[in-house]
Structure formats: structure tokens, C-alpha cells
């Protein structure tokens, strides 16, 4: 998949820690860029096989995807248009694979240049 074995192991280890399991791991993360309803954070466990930069965008409210309101959804589309153009991929993980299903987030990926050469 998108993470190397080493990165997967590191993430699995972290998911067992008290720090990860006390409260929402996403709510605790530092903000890189903040909007009205959304903020961008760094991913500590990047998709290192494909990404040279891996950030995430999430609603400031602790809310699952089906709880987003119309204003939040509208702002997300605005942000996509204006601020997310430098990313190569915006990935939404489906429910089966989400490790933090309670707090909606999209993965923002700038791909490794080696991937571009393959295509």
C-alpha cells in the first residue's frame, strides 16, 4: 500500500500508545494553515512510498464526514480551488480503511518525482 513497512510498523506502534488513544489524535495536531472551518495539519505517518509531502485537511470541529454542515462543505470546495492546487492528489480514505473515522480528514499528497517519471 501507500506506506512502507517501516512506516506501517511505526504507525501501528503509535496506535497502541496511551497518547494516541486518549482523545482524538487529529484534534491534538498543530495547525499549518487555518481557515474559517478547516485547518491543514502535518501527517506524522506519511504515505512515504508515494508522497514527498503529506498533509491533511480536517474540519476544526471534531466531526465525522456525514456531520459536516453546508457551510463547511462550501468552504472546503473554496479551499480546494484556491489553496490545494499544489497537491497532486487529494485522497479520501473509505470507511473500511479509516483509522480515525470520527474526525473527517482528507489526505493531501505531493507525489515523489520518481512517480511522475513512471507515468
Site residues for Zn ion per CB under 5 A: 24, 26-27, 62, 103
Kindly tell me which of 4 and 99 has the beta carbon lying closer to Zn ion.
99
Smallest separation (angstroms) from Zn ion to the CB of 73: 18
SS3 80: helix
CA-CA distance, 47 to 107, in Å (whole number)?
A: 9
* Of 26 and 115, CB closest to Zn ion: 26
Least distance (Å) between residue 54 CB and Zn ion: 18
Q: How far is the CB of 8 from Zn ion (least distance, A)?
A: 22
Alpha-carbon distance values, 49 to 10, 24, 76, 79, 99 (Å):
14, 26, 27, 26, 19
Q: Which one, 50 or 107, has the nearer CB to Zn ion?
A: 107
Which three cell numbers mark 19? 497518547
- The beta-strand segments (E) located in 1-119 are 31-34, 38-42, 51-59, 89-91, 106-111
φ/ψ of 78, rounded to 5, equals -60, -45
User: Toward Zn ion, which CB reaches closer, 27 or 68?
Assistant: 27
CB of 26 to Zn ion, least distance (A): 4
**Residue nearest Zn ion by beta-carbon distance:** 24
Amino acid at each position: 500500500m501507500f506506506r512502507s513497512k517501516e512506516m506501517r510498523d511505526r504507525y501501528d506502534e503509535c496506535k497502541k500508545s496511551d497518547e494516541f488513544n486518549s482523545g482524538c489524535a487529529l484534534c491534538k495536531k498543530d495547525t499549518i494553515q487555518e481557515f474559517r472551518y478547516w485547518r491543514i495539519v502535518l501527517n506524522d505517518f506519511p504515505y512515504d512510498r508515494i508522497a514527498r509531502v503529506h498533509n491533511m485537511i480536517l474540519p476544526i470541529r471534531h466531526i465525522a464526514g456525514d456531520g459536516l454542515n453546508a457551510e463547511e462543505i462550501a468552504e472546503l470546495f473554496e479551499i480546494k480551488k484556491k489553496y490545494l492546487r499544489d497537491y497532486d492528489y487529494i485522497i479520501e480514505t473509505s470507511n473500511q480503511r479509516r483509522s480515525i473515522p470520527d474526525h473527517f480528514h482528507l489526505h493531501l499528497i505531493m507525489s515523489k518525482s520518481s512517480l511522475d517519471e513512471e507515468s
